[in-house]
Amino acid sequence: AMTDIAAIQDDGDYRQAVDAIWRDIVHTKLYLTGGIGATRHGESFGEAYQLPNDTAYNETCAAIALANWAHRMFLLHGDSGYVDVLERILYNGLLSGVSLDGKHFFYPNPLSSDGVTPFNQGSAGRQPWFGCACCPGNVTRFVASVPGMAYARRDHHLFVNLFVNGTARVQADGQQVEISMQTEYPWRGGFMLKVKPEQNSVSLALNIRVPGWTRNQPVPGGLYRFADDAAEPLTVSVNGEYVEPAMKNGYARIDREWSAKDVVIVNFPLPVRRVLANDQVEADRGRVALQRGPIVYCLEQADNPALDIPRFVLDHQSPVHPAWMPDKLGGIMQLNIPSTHGRSAATAIPYNVWANRGPNTMEVWLRSGVGPPDATHYQ
């Protein structure tokens, strides 16, 4: 509501306030999965950098609230960093709150579980209902609202924020314009976008979000970083010809006259990245997480029956290979970590589908074969 007032009334005091609160959350109190709320006591934030994994509260409703707020902050500022946070929540800390069959739910969403300790209203797994049933209803309501977050328009600028299959219609240049997208994102990078104006042509500035993870920035601020700088640039083509769009606020802008047969193709490389936390996050020192595109991964006992997951060490030299598994957990891109240097092999799955095979030991942050990240990276 404060953000809406700041936008509608152009209120500088409210704008300054919401900006300060946002920085505090995203720079010091945001989980890698997009969850918020370090403690169940008062369902509250902890201190800065207090991000325990096994006792993380990360209420599903809180993830939904932050996603809604991220969208409002984007509408206020027009910066892609807010949508990066929204996307991280969508594909990780929110989606984990509901089972694949849509009938069982998490109230909290921890990043570590021993498969035994009851953390979810008396259960170590998802529950079909709760005495305070805010999360199930919020999930269904929020999922239905996501299409309204995919695109945004301001004057003759169209912002492409979420990469999802579907068709949208917007008003631009005095006429209706149909925008259609085809994609297999987030499992495969990129999408095809068709621009179809109602009349012969339309003047439109297409602003395509370039996700922060393609620019070596997991989230805005210094809370997390990639262990390497190996990000490859995206490619953009219009009608088969490569273009170099101007960049502004994290968006690739193509400003031109569009006709009914114009096609834009964007390709995002999707390497597997190792993520490190700021050294001030005590729970994650000497640990590493895996991410591919916007998807955060975890190790679960169901895929690694012989593995002592809490003691598993991911060596910095260990290769990690993505593999498409169409018949597993509704169809996922899993990560295969082969045995190297005497270390055990392992399989990682997207965090959002864990606990769909019963309560399981699970870890997002794995012991690392290298030392803790150097705090000087964050000066």
Q: In the chain, pLDDT over 70 holds for what percent of residues?
A: 97
Six token digits for residue 38: 């370090």
**What's the average model confidence in pLDDT over 2-19?**
95
Distance between CA atoms of residues 139 and 104, nearest Å:
11
* 313-323 confidence digits (pLDDT tens): 998 888 999 99
Cα-based angle 111, 116, 119 (whole degrees, multiple of 5):
55
Distance between CA atoms of residues 60 and 295, nearest Å:
17
Q: What is the pLDDT of residue 315?
A: 87
Distance between CA atoms of residues 153 and 342, nearest Å:
54
Q: What is the pLDDT of residue 372?
A: 42
Distance between CA atoms of residues 76 and 358, nearest Å:
42
Which amino acid, residue 79? Answer: D
* 84-107 confidence digits (pLDDT tens): 999 999 999 999 999 999 999 999
Rounded to the nearest integer, the mean pLDDT of the chain is 93
Q: What is the pLDDT of residue 43?
A: 84
* 317-357 confidence digits (pLDDT tens): 889 999 999 999 999 999 999 988 778 899 999 999 999 99
* Residues, the chain: 379
Helix (H) or strand (E) holding 157: strand 157-160
- Establish how many alpha carbons lie within 13 A of residue 54's alpha carbon, considering only the half-sphere containing its beta carbon: 13
268 CB contacts (<8 Å, ≥6 apart)?
185, 189, 190, 211, 214, 234, 293
Q: What is the pLDDT of residue 308?
A: 96
* 149-206 confidence digits (pLDDT tens): 999 999 889 999 999 999 999 988 888 999 999 999 999 999 999 999 988 799 999 9
- Residue pair 19/26 in contact (Cβ under 8 Å)? The answer is no
> Cβ-count burial of 154 within 10 angstroms (0-12 exposed, 13-18 middle, 19+ buried)?
exposed
